[in-house]
């Protein structure tokens, strides 16, 4: 029997003790030992709350010594059961858990059902009680966060990134793992807002919106097997595209987490992809994972080709781009439509033009575009210099291009010296 609740629980980053208790509960459930299933489940619930209290700083309204006495009582086998229930339901001197009265009543109800099981009272306990308790936990565990835990976690993160308190490069996974248990779901977006505001105050490399260690921290959040923290992080990043681009520069595959949001994906490739240092890695991920609808793929490729400062594809990206027709469109735009005549585009994309010449056949279309654009005094200088270096270092490509120009009586590309010399030799033969 497959239990979805157990699968969900394992994605919540609870410690092994909690998981073991619920796995025992599931074994009992499968054998129809429902009293034991509910007892183990309630014990697992208590263990979660106990860990949250022990790991928390004093909530608002609690002096440190009073809070420490509560934590000490939790370590006492004779007291901890009572302390957990009291902590969940108490309101004075202040609530430890900011929850509704209705939720407090539900907690009391399930405590009484636990007592029914423990003391074999007359109330019937069957599979529906166990299943209902699991539904209760799934619906409410994210709300049962110690008052002030969010602020406490932020303070721990600040201390971690303070080199006077923490050695640079120290592992921060324990802080990432705290997020699902320290921040209530409804407060996650504000938590991320505060987190990124802090990260943006840290020392940066030139032109980097976020420091590398901060980027690595946020990337780890995506690895959490807990849906709300990841979903809320995505919601936040949709409104902080500068930070999202820093993340994609670190790991372009993170764009896959936005699968299913066609409107956002379109907005990103249309307006923001060229702000990244990894344009082709992101585009390849979008294409290979079908993040761009089929009817928009060609449009996206054309639109991106017309942007400036694209860089060049890696060996891993090349076959993906070729599969989806990127280089066919590049040839049409750069050479058939003679986009290489655009000074800003050519000078910022000269590496990409050379990359095409290096990896694909130079035919009449390409040769004619070169001859047309480098046969007069007005031409993109950075592209000219890159082409001259390319033809100087690639004699076979140089000879073939010059031969096509001469045989078709195209204008001589005399502004590319290496190519012009070859044309002169071809013409004299």
Q: What is the pLDDT of residues 397-426, one digit of tens each?
A: 999 999 999 999 998 888 998 887 766 666
Q: Are 194 and 154 in contact (CB under 8 A)?
A: yes
What is the mean predicted confidence (pLDDT) over 281-299? 97
Residue 9: pLDDT over 60: yes
DSSP 8-state assignment for residue 58? P
CA 268 from centre of chain: 14
Residue 376: pLDDT over 90: no
Query: What number of other Cβ atoms are within 10 A of residue 47's Cβ?
Result: 20
Integer Cα distance of 353 and 359 in angstroms = 10
Q: Which residues contact 228 (CB under 8 A, 6 or more apart)?
A: 142, 180, 185, 188
- Whole-number mean pLDDT of the chain? 91
Integer Cα distance of 30 and 237 in angstroms = 42
What are the beta bridge partners of residue 97? 146
Task: Return the CA Rg of the chain.
Answer: 31
Q: Encoding tokens for residue 334? A: 């750069």
Integer Cα distance of 421 and 429 in angstroms = 13
Residue 207: pLDDT over 80: no
Q: Where are the domains of the chain?
A: 4-143, 149-356
Q: Are 116 and 123 in contact (CB under 8 A)?
A: yes
Q: Encoding tokens for residue 291? A: 């993040």
Query: What number of other Cβ atoms are within 10 A of residue 354's Cβ?
Result: 18
Cis omega (within 30 of 0) for bond into 317: no
| pLDDT grade for 208, boundaries at 50, 70 and 90 | low
Q: What is the pTM of this model?
A: 0.79
Q: Are 298 and 292 in contact (CB under 8 A)?
A: no
- Cα of first residue to Cα of last residue in the chain, in angstroms, is 83
What's the pLDDT at 424?
62
| pLDDT grade for 42, boundaries at 50, 70 and 90 | very high
CA 110 from centre of chain: 38
pLDDT tens for each residue of 341-368: 999 999 999 999 999 999 999 999 999 9
Query: What number of other Cβ atoms are within 10 A of residue 35's Cβ?
Result: 17
What's the pLDDT at 1?
44
| pLDDT grade for 6, boundaries at 50, 70 and 90 | confident
| pLDDT grade for 427, boundaries at 50, 70 and 90 | low
| Closest to 341 measured CA to CA, from 299, 312, 384, 302 | 384
Query: Between these two residues, 205 and 227, which has the higher pLDDT value?
Result: 227
Residue 332: pLDDT over 80: yes
Query: Between these two residues, 378 and 321, which has the higher pLDDT value?
Result: 321
What's the pLDDT at 405?
92
Q: Which residues contact 395 (CB under 8 A, 6 or more apart)?
A: none
Residue 222: pLDDT over 90: yes
What's the pLDDT at 72?
96
DSSP 151-220: HHHHHHHHHHT-TTTS-TT---HHHHHHHHHHS-GGGHHHHHHHHHHHHTTS---TT-SS-HHHHHHHHH
**Phi, psi angle pair for 150, to nearest 5°:** -60, -50
| pLDDT grade for 428, boundaries at 50, 70 and 90 | low
pLDDT tens for each residue of 225-267: 778 899 999 999 999 999 999 999 999 999 999 999 999 999 9
Residue 134: pLDDT over 60: yes
Q: Which residue matches tokens 């849906």?
A: 227
What's the pLDDT at 293?
96
Q: Which of 50-54, 66-70, 146-150, 295-299 has the lowest mean pLDDT?
A: 146-150
What's the pLDDT at 163?
87
Residue 333: pLDDT over 90: yes
């Amino acid at each position: 029997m497959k239990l979805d609740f157990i699968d969900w629980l394992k994605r919540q980053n609870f410690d092994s003790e909690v998981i073991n208790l619920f796995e025992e509960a599931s074994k009992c459930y499968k054998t129809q030992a429902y009293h034991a299933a509910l007892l183990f489940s309630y014990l697992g619930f208590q263990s979660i709350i106990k860990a949250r209290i022990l790991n928390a700083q004093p909530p608002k309204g609690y002096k440190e010594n009073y809070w420490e006495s509560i934590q000490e009582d939790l370590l006492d086998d004779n007291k901890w059961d009572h302390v957990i229930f009291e902590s969940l339901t108490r309101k004075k001197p202040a609530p430890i858990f900011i929850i509704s009265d209705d939720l407090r009543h539900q907690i009391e109800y399930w405590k009484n059902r636990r007592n029914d099981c423990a003391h074999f009272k007359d109330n019937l306990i069957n599979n529906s009680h166990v299943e209902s308790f699991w539904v209760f936990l799934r619906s409410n565990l994210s709300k049962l966060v110690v008052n002030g835990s969010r602020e406490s976690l932020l303070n721990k993160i600040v201390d971690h990134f303070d080199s006077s308190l923490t050695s640079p490069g120290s592992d921060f996974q324990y802080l990432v793992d705290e997020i699902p248990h320290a921040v209530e779901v409804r407060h996650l977006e504000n938590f991320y807002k505060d987190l990124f505001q802090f990260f943006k105050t840290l020392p940066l490399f030139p032109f980097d919106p976020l420091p590398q260690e901060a980027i690595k921290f946020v990337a780890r959040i995506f690895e959490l097997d807990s849906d709300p923290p990841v979903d809320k992080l995505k919601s936040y990043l949709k409104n902080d595209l500068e930070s999202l681009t820093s993340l994609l520069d670190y790991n372009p595959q993170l764009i896959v987490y936005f699968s299913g949001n066609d409107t956002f994906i379109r907005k990103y490739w249309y307006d923001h992809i060229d702000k990244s240092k990894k344009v082709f890695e992101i585009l390849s991920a979008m294409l290979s994972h079908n993040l761009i609808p089929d009817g928009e793929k060609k449009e996206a490729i054309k639109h991106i080709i017309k942007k400036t400062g694209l860089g060049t594809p890696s060996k891993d990206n090349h076959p993906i781009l070729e599969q989806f027709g990127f280089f066919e469109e590049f040839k049409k735009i750069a050479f058939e439509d003679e986009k290489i005549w655009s000074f800003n585009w050519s000078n910022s994309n000269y590496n990409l033009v050379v990359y095409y010449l290096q990896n694909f056949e130079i035919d009449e279309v390409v040769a004619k575009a070169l001859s047309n654009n480098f046969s007069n005094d007005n031409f993109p200088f950075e592209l000219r210099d890159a082409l001259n270096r390319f033809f100087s270092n690639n004699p076979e490509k140089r000879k073939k291009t010059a031969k096509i120009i001469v045989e078709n009586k195209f204008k001589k590309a005399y502004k590319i010296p290496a190519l012009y010399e070859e044309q002169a030799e071809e013409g004299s033969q």
